[in-house]
Amino acid sequence: MIHTLSAYTAKVLNGTINAILGVVPSSLDRVSPSLVTAPVQLSEIGVLVGMMGQVPGRLIVDGSINTFINLGQLMFDMALEGEMLESFVGEFGNMVAGNTATNLSKASISVDISPPTVIIGQSRLSGFHLGFDIPIRIDDAGDLRIMLLLETLK
């Protein structure tokens, strides 16, 4: 059975927000998701994880280097730098995307994820149908943007 993308939008957003809540070991504030249009501008460092299946697209976690350093400190009680920081950013994106896929599976939505791709430096992304930006502020870490860039279904 083929479903339209809009039938899944709320479940995908909720599944992603719940994934963040499950991964981050600190309280956080989030703002309601907003629609984004192409191109999307990324900041200092981020991670992109592809989503395939019933809701194809990309999940991106974007933030400053300092936010990811602080988040690594919160999660692992150690300062991360260089390659260790890059590895952590990729793994953090993988955890968020994996938990999102698990949450969607519980809602009977099948999604597979790709290995994470770490993006360093300012970048622009385009080529998506529907985009959502979910800004979050993590206590004692800083601000992150979670972006869902969804494609149309065939």
Residue 116 is given by DSSP the state P
Rounded average pLDDT over 17-28: 92
- To the nearest whole number, what is the mean pLDDT of the chain? 90
In 3D, which of 101, 103, 100, 73 has the Cα closest to residue 88?
73
Residue 3: its pLDDT value, please? 43
> Environment class of residue 128 by beta-carbon count within 10 Å: exposed (0-12), middle (13-18) or buried (19+)?
buried
Label the pairing between strands 130-138 and 34-36: antiparallel
What tens digit of pLDDT does each residue of 52-69 get? 998 899 999 999 999 999
Residue 2: its pLDDT value, please? 37
Rounded average pLDDT over 71-97: 96
Question: What is the Cα–Cα distance from 3 to 132, expressed in whole angstroms?
Answer: 19
Residue 6: its pLDDT value, please? 60
In 3D, which of 129, 9, 122, 114 has the Cα closest to residue 62?
122
Residue 81: its pLDDT value, please? 95
Give percent above pLDDT 90 in the chain.
75
- The pTM is what? 0.90
Protein fold of 5-150: Chemotaxis protein chec (3.40.1550)
Which H or E element spans position 30? strand 28-30
Residue 20: its pLDDT value, please? 92
Residue 30: its pLDDT value, please? 82
- All structural domains of the chain with their residue ranges: 5-150
Categorize the per-residue pLDDT at 129 as very low, low, confident or very high, splitting at 50, 70 and 90: confident
Rounded average pLDDT over 68-81: 94
In 3D, which of 90, 91, 66 has the Cα closest to residue 79?
66
* Residues 6 or more apart in contact with residue 1 via CB below 8 angstroms: none
